[in-house]
Amino acid sequence: MAALSEEVLLVVKRVRQRKQDGTLYLMTERIAWGPEGKDRFTVSHLYADIRCQKISPDGKSKIQLQLVLHTGESTTFHFANESTALKDRDAAKDLLQQLLPKFKKKANKQLEEKNKMLQEDPVLFQLYKDLVVSQVISAEEFWASRLKLSSVEHSLSNNSKQEVGISAAFLADIRPQTDGCNGLKYNLTSDIIESIFKTYPAVKQKYAENVPHNLTEKEFWTRFFQSHYFHRDRINTGQQDIFSECAKQDEKGLKSMVVQGVKNPMVDLLSLEDKTLDEGYGSLTVGPNSSKTVKENSNSAIIKRFNHHSAMVLAAGLRKVDAPSDQASETSSTDGNSRDSDFFQPPIKKVKLQEAIEYEDLQNGSGPKTIALNLKKSDRYSHGPVPLQSHHYSTSQDIINSVNCIQEEISCYKPCLTRVMPSSAASSAITALSPGGLLMQAGTQQAVSQLVPTDVQSELKHLYTAAGELLRHFWSCFPVNTPFLEEKVVKMRSNLERFQSTKLRPFQEKIQREYLSTNVRLLLLVNL
Amino acid sequence: MLELKRTLDAKGHGVLEMPSGTGKTISLLSLIVAYQKAYPLEVTKLIYCSRTVPEIEKVVEELRKLMEFYTKETGEKNNFLALALSSRKNLCIHPEVSSLRFGKEVDGKCHSLTASYIRAQHHSNPSQPVCRFYEEFDAVGRQVPIPSGIYNLDDLKDFGRKKGWCPYYLARYSILHANIVVYSYHYLLDPKIADLVSKELAKKSVVVFDEAHNIDNVCIDSMSVNITRRTLDRCQTNVDTLQNTIQRIKETDAAKLREEYRRLVEGLKEANVARETDIYLSNPVLPDEVLQEAIPGSIRTAEHFVGFLKRFLEYLKARLRIHHVVQESSPQFLKDIYEKVCIDRKPLRFCAERLRSLLRTLEIADIADFSPITLISHFATLVSTYSKGFTIIIEPFEDKTPTIANPVLHFSCMDPSIAIKPVFERFQSVVITSGTLSPLDIYPRILDFRPVTMASFTMTLARTCLCPLIVGRGNDQVAMSSKFETREDFAVIRNYGNLLLEMSAIVPDGIVAFFTSYVYMENIVASWYEQGILENIQRNKLIFIETPDAAETSMALEKYQEACENGRGAILLSVARGKVSEGIDFVHHFGRAVIMFGVPYVYTQSRILKARLEYLRDQFQIRENDFLTFDAMRHAAQCVGRAIRGKTDYGLMIFADKRYARADKRGKLPRWIQEHISDGSLNLTIDETVQLSKHFLRQMAQPFRRVRPAPFFTRFS
């Protein structure tokens, strides 16, 4: 069996699929089903391929689990073990619920990307419909060249797009509801959970440590909400609380942030004061405030928590953006933190100072910014392109001579009126040549666009782009220097032929039936 | 400019209120520099005092621009020397010393490397570490003056590094011949520092105090002393150390002590001569009379003096062992000390000077260790010198915690004019300026000087870029006020919360909210949290809150700016009179709206304040309420004024207290804010405020076009 090395997470016996009894296996990477008595799987789906799972409603007699794949196919499992069917199904469902999200991201990413591309680009979408849906070429082939092509521009557009930050109030969004019997119900969505993880890495770590082994997910979150950690006015967290460590870690983080100090000297309150009064001088003494009441303590704890929370939310939002430029910022931040930062600090300070004393509106020349024209050869700009073949340079004498020559010719020019065409003939020739005239009747664009209804036109356009796409595929194989390419050429050729037969022929015939005059162009195009 | 020129011409003092962001600094600089150029003999030096280090650096950068402009326009290089001076912490380039984090540590370490006797020891024993930068500077730095130019703190450091000279001492030396000096208030107002640094500055100088709305407090702070039990305990160890050192020196080097004795007999004549010939800025801690006499015999020898200190210390300890609050004047205190331990007034007055001499003689390495005893000696001198303007309050415990004994002796200055008097007397023109000095007439009164000009300027605006609104009630018509009786009222707190919530939904980027005090903010935040208001606000913006810890607040501030910067928007909850309200500007998107919750009255129950109010009433005929309102309003104006910095900037200023509508409060706001308060916006509900704000913000968000020329000052009244 191929799956020997895989770890089997769950085995459910007596599961029917297509009216056949069998066993359902949930492995680390895929779900599989094999009919009874045989040791191979007839159904096997990677988790990454599964879009979602559906279950039959509770009341129904058949207890089923349906897996919908990204391709749109679905597989239904019927849990047939009378006594434990429901339990079996739920076990499978729960496990899948945990497993699917992990794989989802991986699979979805590409899919989403493709989806987005299609949505953003209607032409591409049409192309996709023409080529893939009508099965001229396979989806993979279609994307193979597309994705590569678009990855460059895509990454560009990706960068400019912003990460969605975290709502500062995400904890407030979890409205506790009373469930009627002296308890509270919290509704958690995966978004909120992600926000919590992003903002509080310490909780995430705890989650990773505890969840599959020590606690179930539900228990974990129950404890989370019970813990003082969640309640910001916590003062004394119990030792048995798994989140007390988080609280400590947070405190440490806050402290380290404080110790790190600020990089912008304009807001550093510590160095604001030039000369602080010596101890004992001054009219107000801020003595060691040991005598704070518990309430005051908890109040200041709230304030601290808010500062920390906001800072974390902010940091979580920025983390992603920073990632690519981490290298640079890391080095600079370490520089900034060390105290012998004299070589690093001044630039920031200078910049900030300049910012502080400069007023944009007082600067000269604050008119609308224009882009300077960058000319490599200004003479070419002013003279326009000159055909290169006129390379024999004429001396000034030549020019003068020729000018004289022309002048002489002009001076002795006499219109020979007798030999001119009669005006009626001339005008008829002109009408014949202008659009709609005798000579131009056959193939002017205008005429076509007027003659052909728009739906045919758009169809023609689609066909044209589709043909262009196919030809692009085709020509991209040249020069044929590998067997792979050779194979592809052959395939593309057959694709082209298929395209011709499935799409163009019907269209051609249709057109021929209706408009005889346009077929010349089309045939031209088709037989290209 | 006109007023300033008048002031300079008359060689008198002036008080000028100019709106923030209208080019106050550059106007002052350009006129005074031009004056200096035109009359080099009349005005030899400009001393520009600002409050914070970034502020100082900004001034120097502006000056640099001005000088560049001069060079560009006139085509000749001018030979001005301008420099910034700051504490060692900001100027030190010694690799070890500059890595220390706190100013005091840097000072101490520096002293231990550069004190004269350390250097003397270094001669005989090269292993004794000294600061090579100082040595280098001392050897050659004084011979050639620093080349003319503009030196900011970093430029000084660079210059110091290049030459291998200590930038701090270089700057301190160079301010004597510099044309323009930019430094912090303390170098002029704090007698302890002024004596060291600014003593020899030329008389024909123009002194500018920028951001001077708080100058009286700076003066008072520099002259007030607090003594706790802990201070006294540490003094005790100091005295013991002194005694031991004296003992040791007596055995090894008795000549040194004899030398000191001889010097003391000769007295402080030297200093006296210097002051009479007008070289020195007088030091209020070192009163004139002291200089004319020799140190009294009773404390002339080292042992006697230490014994004297011991007695004084014991007396103070006894005074702190009380169970009820005592308030007395200096003469009462002196009488008491004479009766109890037979300490006369005269030796007390010499205490500071005598201790300094002793510490020098004994070659104490770490001066910082001896700060408690220095403090006590200053106290002794001050208490015996000034019979007026000071009060002594001994509190056995804090008001909030009557059970925990924590006795404190407050020796507090109530008259800011004492500290600033030498400055007014010595320098020919002193200009006091700030964005918020209203009402103007109170400053000359509390600082006790006679200005030749007093003016409040408003600004001409290209568009009405500020929108002051007074919100008096909530949507439920409950009056909003931070009045003591109603401040804990549930409805008021909720209305405040709703106001912030509504504003957070409509104002883009940053909102700064100020509370009247830290405790009040804590309470409100807590109850907002319980009511779920904060959570709702969080849906709109991130929340950052000032804490008493400066480092934490700095971090919060930076994150706040970051959040404004990246478009998330944030709210900063802060405290009037706090560090943020005093030193940080919220330009452009960092502060699109400022909300002032309540009127920031000072805590009126403190005995020190009560004493001060009493003094003001008796001496300057300023009524308590007037002063309190004045003080509250200047802080409120200071807070809201942080948002507007420049013509293109715009901001809402929301005063959330019904009391602001009253004429006595409103009238004390600076003119430039006052004239934009329309009668219609005096008692708004939250809904109305939101409507007005929306309208304002929509208008302001249109792109700013240059329609009119840049604003300039116009005389208001």
Nearest CA in chain B to A280: B226
CA distance B226 to chain A (A): 5
At residue B23, what is the residue type? G
Query: Mean pLDDT in chain B?
Result: 85
Mean pLDDT of B652-662: 92
Per-residue pLDDT at A348 exceeds 90: no
CATH assignment of B466-701? Answer: 3.40.50.300
| Choice between A148 and B225, residue whose per-residue pLDDT is larger | B225
Take residue A156 and report the two structure tokens written for it. 């560009």
CB B257 within 8 A of CB B300: no
Separation between Cα atoms, residue B415 and residue B141, nearest integer Å: 41
Q: Judge: B375–A278 Cβ closer than 8 Å, yes or no.
A: yes
Size of interface A-B (CB pairs under 8 A): 228
Q: Judge: A303–B525 Cβ closer than 8 Å, yes or no.
A: yes
Mean pLDDT of A307-316: 80
Interface probe for B, chosen from A173, A199, A256, A284 (most Cβ of B below 10 Å), is A284
Cβ-based contacts of B219 with chain A (< 8 Å) = none
Separation between Cα atoms, residue B407 and residue B176, nearest integer Å: 44
HSE value, Cβ hemisphere, 13 Å, CA-based, for B646: 19
Q: What pLDDT is stored for residue B687 in this prediction?
A: 93
**Beta strands at B510-515 and B570-575: parallel, antiparallel or unpaired:** parallel
CB B382 within 8 A of CB B349: no
Residue A69: partners with Cβ closer than 8 Å, 6 or more residues away: A45, A49, A50, A51, A75
Torsions phi, psi of A3, nearest 5?
-95, 15
Per-residue DSSP letter, B548: S
Separation between Cα atoms, residue B435 and residue B458, nearest integer Å: 10
Three-state secondary structure along A381-443?
Answer: HHHCCCCCCCCCCCCHHHHHHHHHHHHHHHHCCCCCHHHCCCHHHHHHHHHHHCCCCCCCCCC
Q: What pLDDT is stored for residue A31 in this prediction?
A: 83
Mean pLDDT of B582-588: 83
Beta bridge partner(s), residue B431: B14, B208
Interface probe for A, chosen from B28, B522, B571 (most Cβ of A below 10 Å), is B522
Cβ-based contacts of A342 with chain B (< 8 Å) = 93, 98, 157
Residues 375-404 of chain B whose Cβ lies under 8 A from any Cβ of chain A: 375, 398, 400-401, 404
CA distance B616 to chain A (A): 16
Residues 619-648 of chain B whose Cβ lies under 8 A from any Cβ of chain A: 646-648
Q: What pLDDT is stored for residue B501 in this prediction?
A: 93
The reply to whether the predicted model has a pTM over 0.90 is no
Residue pointed to by tokens 């009894």: A21
Three-state DSSP at B552 gives helix
The beta-carbon neighbor of A361 closest among B413, B608, B704 is B704
| Choice between A58 and B64, residue whose per-residue pLDDT is larger | B64
At residue B252, what is the residue type? T
Categorize the per-residue pLDDT at A417 as very low, low, confident or very high, splitting at 50, 70 and 90. Answer: low
| Choice between B660 and A440, residue whose per-residue pLDDT is larger | B660
Mean pLDDT of A6-25: 81
Among the four given CATH numbers 1.20.1090.10, 3.40.1790.10, 2.30.29.30, 1.10.10.10, the one describing domain A8-108 = 2.30.29.30
pLDDT digits (tens, 9 = 90+) for B264-306: 776 655 655 555 555 555 666 666 666 666 677 778 888 888 9
Categorize the per-residue pLDDT at A279 as very low, low, confident or very high, splitting at 50, 70 and 90. Answer: low
**Beta strands at A43-46 and B451-459: parallel, antiparallel or unpaired:** unpaired
Q: Judge: A361–B536 Cβ closer than 8 Å, yes or no.
A: no
Q: Judge: B61–A353 Cβ closer than 8 Å, yes or no.
A: yes
CA distance A210 to chain B (A): 29
Per-residue pLDDT at A359 exceeds 70: no
Take residue B284 and report the two structure tokens written for it. 């209020």
Q: Judge: A311–B556 Cβ closer than 8 Å, yes or no.
A: yes
CB A130 within 8 A of CB A495: no
pLDDT digits (tens, 9 = 90+) for A260-272: 766 776 677 766 6
**B704 — contact with chain A (CB < 8 Å)?**
yes
Query: Please, what's the largest Cα pairwise distance for chain B?
Result: 84
- Phi-psi domain of B52 (left: phi exceeds 0; alpha: psi -120 through 50; beta: other): beta
Per-residue DSSP letter, A77: E
Q: Residue B181: count other Cβ atoms within 10 Å of its Cβ.
A: 26
Q: Which helix (H) or strand (E) holds A489?
A: helix A483-499
Q: Judge: B538–A169 Cβ closer than 8 Å, yes or no.
A: yes
| Choice between A298 and A389, residue whose per-residue pLDDT is larger | A298
CA distance B505 to chain A (A): 14
Q: Judge: B539–A167 Cβ closer than 8 Å, yes or no.
A: yes
Interface probe for A, chosen from B374, B461, B538, B712 (most Cβ of A below 10 Å), is B538
Cβ-based contacts of A264 with chain B (< 8 Å) = 558, 561
Cite the DSSP H helix spans in B175-287: 186-189, 191-197, 215-223, 229-252, 254-266, 269-276
Three-state DSSP at B392 gives strand
Three-state DSSP at A157 gives helix
What is each CA distance from B553 to A311, A370, B550, in whole angstroms?
12, 43, 5
pLDDT digits (tens, 9 = 90+) for B140-188: 878 888 888 899 888 899 998 888 888 988 898 888 888 999 998 888 8
Q: Judge: A269–B523 Cβ closer than 8 Å, yes or no.
A: no
CA distance A203 to chain B (A): 21
Cβ-based contacts of B190 with chain A (< 8 Å) = 275, 277
**B603 — contact with chain A (CB < 8 Å)?**
no
Residue pointed to by tokens 């005295």: B239
Interface probe for B, chosen from A163, A235, A269, A273 (most Cβ of B below 10 Å), is A269
Q: Judge: B579–A272 Cβ closer than 8 Å, yes or no.
A: yes
Torsions phi, psi of A71, nearest 5?
-75, -10
Q: What pLDDT is stored for residue B468 in this prediction?
A: 92
Nearest CA in chain B to A311: B559
Q: Judge: B539–A279 Cβ closer than 8 Å, yes or no.
A: no
The beta-carbon neighbor of A257 closest among B547, B555, B561 is B555
CATH 3.40.50.300 intervals, chain B: 21-86+150-211, 466-701
**B72 — contact with chain A (CB < 8 Å)?**
no
Cβ-based contacts of A356 with chain B (< 8 Å) = 54, 58, 61, 585, 587
Separation between Cα atoms, residue B314 and residue B320, nearest integer Å: 10
CA distance A167 to chain B (A): 6
CA distance A316 to chain B (A): 12
Beta bridge partner(s), residue B81: B149
CB B544 within 8 A of CB B553: no
The beta-carbon neighbor of A314 closest among B401, B523, B562 is B562
CA A369 to chain centre: 32
Separation between Cα atoms, residue A52 and residue A67, nearest integer Å: 6
Q: Closest Cα partner for B518 from B581, B424, B472?
A: B581
Per-residue pLDDT at A325 exceeds 80: no
Per-residue pLDDT at A291 exceeds 70: no
Residues 490-529 of chain B whose Cβ lies under 8 A from any Cβ of chain A: 519, 522-523, 525-526, 529
Q: Closest Cα partner for B178 from B38, B263, B63, B344?
A: B63
Per-residue DSSP letter, B473: B
Categorize the per-residue pLDDT at A416 as very low, low, confident or very high, splitting at 50, 70 and 90. Answer: low
* Domain ranges, ordered by start, for chain A: 8-108, 124-160, 163-261, 453-526
| Choice between A179 and B391, residue whose per-residue pLDDT is larger | B391
Q: What pLDDT is stored for residue A323 in this prediction?
A: 41
For the domain made up of B21-86+150-211, give the CATH fold: Rossmann fold (3.40.50)
Q: What pLDDT is stored for residue A326 in this prediction?
A: 37
Q: What pLDDT is stored for residue A331 in this prediction?
A: 36
Q: Closest Cα partner for B102 from A210, A163, A294, A261?
A: A261
Nearest CA in chain B to A345: B154
- Cβ-defined contacts of A325-329 (< 8 Å, 24+): none
Cβ-based contacts of A336 with chain B (< 8 Å) = none
Interface probe for B, chosen from A259, A310, A344 (most Cβ of B below 10 Å), is A310
pLDDT digits (tens, 9 = 90+) for B621-631: 888 888 999 99
Interface probe for A, chosen from B558, B603, B649 (most Cβ of A below 10 Å), is B558
The beta-carbon neighbor of B221 closest among A266, A283, A306 is A283
Per-residue pLDDT at B331 exceeds 50: yes
pLDDT digits (tens, 9 = 90+) for B190-216: 887 887 787 778 888 899 999 888 888
Residue pointed to by tokens 């600079």: A332
Q: Which helix (H) or strand (E) holds A27?
A: strand A20-27
| Choice between A238 and B268, residue whose per-residue pLDDT is larger | B268
